[in-house]
Structure 1
Amino acid sequence: MKSRFSVRRQLLKWLLLPLLILIAVDSTILYRISLHFLRKAFDHALYETAYDVSQILIQDRLNNAQLELKPEVRDMLLSSQQDVMYYSVYDQQGHFMGGDHALPYLKPLSGQHKTLYYGAGQVSGHDVRVVSMPVVIATEEGNAPVRIQVAETRNQRQHLASQILLGILIPQLLLLLVAVLLMWFGIGRGLRPLWDLHAALAQRTPRDLSPVQLTQVPEEVSMLVESINQLMQQVQRLLESQNRFIADAAHQLRTPLAGVMAQTELAQYETNPDALQKSLGNIAISTERLVHMVNQLLILARAEPEVMQAIQMHVLDLRALAQHVTGDLISLALPRNIDLGFESELAHAWVLGDATSLEEMLSNLVDNAIRYSDEGGRVTVSLLRDGESFVLSVEDDGPGIPEDEREKVFERFHRVIGTKQPGSGLGLAIVLEIAQVHGATIQMQDATPEGGLRISLRFADHGADAPVITG
């Protein structure tokens, strides 16, 4: 048993994955943008502090003081609720000149010797953000360039970064939850026509094959409804065909069966040996006709288009098949001294078809030609190429069929008035059914100006798909 799955859940999973990716990308972008502006704000505040420190140190230096901040000034400038701040002064060669010795010299990169720059460092095992700015101070030798560094631990930065991350993720997750709920109900609403279709089919009886009628059907569901309606029509045609076949068979079999029963009852009360022998002969003839009709009915049932569609066709050699069928039917021609032959200059004639059906079709054509030909007549089966097609013909020199009857003879149980030969009227109906399934066209014409009949069937050439013959 095949496992069942929910279309709603499948659609939700397919939509949820790209939505998660989109939210993850969006959150990452928002987080990085927020961190960028957060870093710029903290760096600017750090620069302001460094600038204030530099101005005080320069002023104190002018008063011949050391490069050290007074405790009260340090507490005012380098104080923070969550972070620890440091400062230091180095000359251009990186020699310590004052401040916190724990704050190492942040060596400038190429091109940064005369500019302000930021960097990262460590003080007492803690990560710090450092700003280094160039200033000029007075010395005994004159004005000298130095670098004043101010550092700050990252506690507040990291705390705010975490708050920003939560501030981004929580709304995004809420948005995701709302989107999933909306998709769940939206998909359910979109699948509502499928439930309507299910309800419409579940309420039907097995005999109700009328088209399914639904209003406001979306395009995707309308294609399914159209396919179901087409299937309904095919089943309807199949049932009609079967019912027609059963009715025709019952009607056509009733008379010969009644005749066999009547002759059998008559023979039971017959005491004269010669009359009894005659009755038994009549029973045999009637039984033979009945068997022939039953066989024709069975062949016709197999030739129905709905049945033939289930048969897998193959590329086969129509020449070999026609030659084989013609040879098998010579036994029917011999008692009437009919010259039955096969003519073809082709080595092969590859067509697409079912061998059994094509043999039955050709057998019916040849059998009809033999039945309706005069004794000592001639029946010829021929095969030739005509452009991109193969033409299979059965020709006889019998009385032929009037032009006004040629379309009717393909109807079931139709027989030409005045025909003396017994038959079921199914032979050409079988030929038509099989030819149509194989995509072949039928043409009926006089064999010669003097009379006779030629029935030709035109098949498409499938030589490109022919099997490779070795040896």
Structure 2
Amino acid sequence: MISIRTRILAPTLLLMIVGSLTLAWLAVRDSHREIENVYDAQLVQAARLLQGVLQQAPPQRDWPALQEALETALNRSGQGILSHPYEMNLAFQIWAADQSLLVRSETAPVIEDVPAPGLHDLMYQGQDWCGVLLEDKTLGIRIWVGERDDLRQDLIQKIVHHTLLPMLLGLPVLTLLIWALLGWGLRPLQRLARQLRNRPHSSLDPLPDEPQPPELEPMRSALDHLLEQLRAMLDRERRFIADAAHELRTPLAILDIHVRNAQQASDPQERAEALAFLQQGVGRMTRIASQLLTMARLEPGIQENRALNLTELMREELAELTPLALRKDVELVLDSTDDCQLNSEPASLSIMLQNLISNALAFSPAGSEVRVHLSRHSASQMRMQVLDQGPGVSEEALQRLCDRFYSAHNPEGAGLGLAIVEMICRRLGLTLNFANRPQGGFCVEVLIPVGGS
């Protein structure tokens, strides 16, 4: 996996280099054109200065002396205090009105056909020249001033190089500065990674509450939330293991005794009795294991809420438990005034109904009934009641019904059914109540918000 520094720095540098080179190319192109225009303007200016000098000269001009003076004045590049490396090396020519040559500097090209007035380029002996021709009809002369294009291009290249060189030299320096600044910007992330790396492997404590950049606060919050979830998961795992070890230790010891009794039985009747006790113990352990697994499955976030019809769900659960009720000779009755629509977890509600109805069947005498009643308690709540005709519960046992592994007068029970019901009610925001019925029997009441959990 590419590092964050590289993922940020590589595109940034690529964009900076490409952008800088593109801007430099555009600047060079525009600068070259502008410098050409500047030099052309200087040619025009030099031609006009030469025209002004000729206008002030006496009518009878000494052209050889004038040529010498002009060459001395115009071609002193690199001489004297006022010399400059960007001076133009000018050449000049002057023709009379009849196109006869009056004056020509030694370096000027030979122009046989006098060009029209204005800027123009020409080639002489394989060398390009840039020049301007100015016509003075008053004096009856034509003045041409020009310079070699290669000398002009050398000067332009020097100017361009002096312009580009600082930028080219600055790119590596700028790259190093960006690298250093990026490292400084990523330092909080490196510090957070170091904290995580140096933590003990078994530590699930929240990260140190130190000031973090706004970009890292969501990451630290997410890590703290994840650590909290891991801690809760480990707590549930430890609790599950402790519950299983606590509850299964004694039944396993009893099963071992029954197995030994069956092996040592002297007659078939004793062996059958020991095997019956063994079968009963296996059944109880199966119920305990099932209830423990049910509790383990009821973890936050496993189920998802969805719209459901509670009346239909209750009807399905009663139909599923009907064979158990028939075996115990108990009648199951659903008493619902209307359909109840809500948004909740179907699986959790099904487990709750199964445990409540199974618990009621366990304490119901033969020939009795277990009634499940659903009615509206208020504008925002529905009331579900599971009513049986059993012996009821003592006041002392009433306070412990939801304790784990507590079974009131039911040796076959695992003592987890109502604990699971309480867990589901607490998770879904339901209200759970227990009461002995005045006419005999027991009532479990659950108040369900109509708006869902």
TMscore range, shorter length: 0.7 to 0.9
Q: Does 1:423 align with 2:420?
A: no
Contact 1:49 1:77 in 2 (8 A): no
SS of match in other structure, 2:205: coil
| Cα separation, 1, equivalents of 2:421 and 2:142 | 108
Q: Deviations over 1:56-84 (max 9, x none)?
A: 44356x72779999643563466587756
Taking only aligned residues, the RMSD between alpha carbons, in angstroms, comes to 4.6
Residue pairs, 1:301-312, within 5 angstroms: 301-305=296-300, 309=302
Paired amino acid for 2:416:
L
Q: Does 1:325 align with 2:317?
A: yes
| Cα separation, 2, equivalents of 1:327 and 1:251 | 34
User: Cα distance, 1:164 vs. partner?
Assistant: 2.3
Residue pairs, 1:27-176, within 5 angstroms: 27=24, 38=35, 42-43=39-40, 45-59=42-56, 63=59, 71-72=67-68, 75-76=71-72, 79=75, 83=89, 85-87=91-93, 100=111, 102=113, 104-106=115-117, 119=119, 121-124=121-124, 129-131=130-132, 137=138, 150-176=145-171
Residues 336 and 68 (structure 1 numbering): CA distance in 2 closer, same or farther, change over 3 Å? farther
Aligned residues: 430
Residues 68 and 458 (structure 1 numbering): CA distance in 2 closer, same or farther, change over 3 Å? farther
| Cα separation, 2, equivalents of 1:77 and 1:64 | 21
User: Cα distance, 1:172 vs. partner?
Assistant: 1.4
- State the partner residue of 2:84: none
Counterpart selection for 1:364 from 355, 369, 375 = 355
Q: Does 1:289 align with 2:287?
A: no
State which drifts further: 66-75 or 191-200: 66-75
Residues 192 and 58 (structure 1 numbering): CA distance in 2 closer, same or farther, change over 3 Å? closer
Using the size of structure 1 for normalisation, the TM-score is 0.71
- State the partner residue of 2:370: 378
Counterpart selection for 2:255 from 260, 269, 272 = 260
Using the size of structure 2 for normalisation, the TM-score is 0.74
Contact 1:78 1:86 in 2 (8 A): no
Contact 2:189 2:216 in 1 (8 A): yes
SS of match in other structure, 1:137: coil
SS of match in other structure, 1:304: coil
Paired amino acid for 2:7:
Q
Contact 1:263 1:279 in 2 (8 A): yes
| Cα separation, 2, equivalents of 1:414 and 1:68 | 133
Paired amino acid for 1:255:
T
Residues 204 and 28 (structure 1 numbering): CA distance in 2 closer, same or farther, change over 3 Å? same
- State the partner residue of 1:467: none
User: Cα distance, 1:329 vs. partner?
Assistant: 0.4
SS of match in other structure, 2:384: strand
Paired amino acid for 1:335:
R
Counterpart selection for 2:443 from 452, 456, 464 = 452
SS of match in other structure, 2:237: helix
User: Cα distance, 1:300 vs. partner?
Assistant: 1.5
Structure 1 residues without counterparts, runs of 5 or longer: 108-118, 140-145, 463-471
Contact 1:344 1:384 in 2 (8 A): no
Identity in percent:
26
State which drifts further: 270-279 or 360-369: 270-279
Paired amino acid for 2:46:
T
Paired amino acid for 2:155:
L
| Cα separation, 1, equivalents of 2:395 and 2:187 | 59
